[in-house]
Amino acid sequence: MYSLMLYTGAAKCDAVALGREHIRDGRIVYRRRKTRKNPDGFEVNIPVHPYLAETLAHVPADAATYLQTEDGGRRSANGLGTSMRKWCDKAGLPHCSSHGLRKAICRRIAEVEGDVFKVMAVSGHTDIREAQKYCDRFNRKGKADSAIAGLPNGAKYETT
């Protein structure tokens, strides 16, 4: 399910564990496991995007997780990566991957003038340098437009 990873930014190891119990008051709440700084996990608490909510509504109520296998079992992170590779290849998207979906939400946040802290809040990054990469690379023109538009206008603000 591409939309789960695209609208949460969850890493494979976290995405395979997500299920109905992680939805609370219209938010997805889970502990990000893949982090060196905090082996107990880092809480990610993000609103459920309307498109994701629509997609998740189609998951059977008795599903163990949103990304369960065809026979109803829990999927492993490696198994998800293998399946994603097959699905992307079948769709004619050989350049796409599960990690690429994680990167895509970070890029999309940066493109709508999101700052490094917004990227970190959604993706669960704990290293500001990783999140900063997205903010540095994307929507520089839009950010420049916004910055110049926000400058004061008029001679009274000029100094010699």
Q: Is the distance from CB of 75 to CB of 68 less than 8 angstroms?
A: yes
| Rounded mean pLDDT, 132-145 | 81
Q: How far apart are CA 147 and CA 150, in angstroms?
A: 5
Q: How far is CA 157 from CA 50, 93, 149, 151, 154, in A?
A: 44, 52, 15, 10, 6
**In the chain, what percentage of residues exceed pLDDT 90?**
36
CA dihedral (109, 114, 115, 121) in degrees, to 10, reads: -60
Query: Which residue carries 């079948």 as its tokens?
Result: 90
- Which pLDDT tens digit goes with each residue over 21-79? 999 999 999 998 766 666 677 889 999 999 999 999 999 988 989 998 888 888 999 99
Q: How far apart are CA 143 and CA 123, in angstroms?
A: 21
Which pLDDT band holds residue 160 (cuts at 50, 70, 90)? low
The reported pTM is: 0.79
For the chain, the average pLDDT equals 86
